[in-house]
Amino acid sequence: MRPLSAILPAVLDRKRNRSALFGLKVQDAWFGVVEEVVGEAAAMGSSVEALRGDTLIVRTASSALSTELRLYSKQIFGKLNSLLPRPMIRKMRFRG
């Protein structure tokens, strides 16, 4: 039997890679989802910065756009979650 210290790094690497893969999928889908829900200008002025746990961090061109996207956040992350193998996004934070 192998000690936990020998197994744990491989398990954590797989988990990080899976999370990174989901993060890339969310980044790829961001523009289309925001364009559909809010509009093209909002999609052009925002981008996914990171996926940390169940929180999506979004960079925006302005605080006004952050406020607008916050109003639509449940619809946005609902659509993004529907594109993932399992729902991962429960919150969104905007930086602008």
- Domains present along the chain, CATH in parentheses: 4-95 (3.30.300.180)
Assess contact for 26 and 79: CB atoms under 8 A. Answer: no
Q: What is the pTM of this model?
A: 0.74
The Cβ of residue 81 has, within 10 Å, a number of other Cβ atoms equal to 15
| Total residues found in the chain within this entry | 96
* pLDDT for residue 48: 92
* pLDDT for residue 84: 80
Mean pLDDT by 10 residues, the chain (96 residues): 61 52 74 95 93 90 96 93 85 93
Burial track 35-58 (b if 16+ CB lie within 10 A, e otherwise): eebbeeebbebbebbebeeeebeb
In angstroms, the CA 35 to CA 94 distance is 17
Work out whether strand 46-52 and strand 55-60 pair parallel, antiparallel, or are unpaired: antiparallel
* pLDDT for residue 50: 85
Find all residues with CB under 8 Å of 27, minimum gap 6, and list them: 47, 48
* pLDDT for residue 12: 47
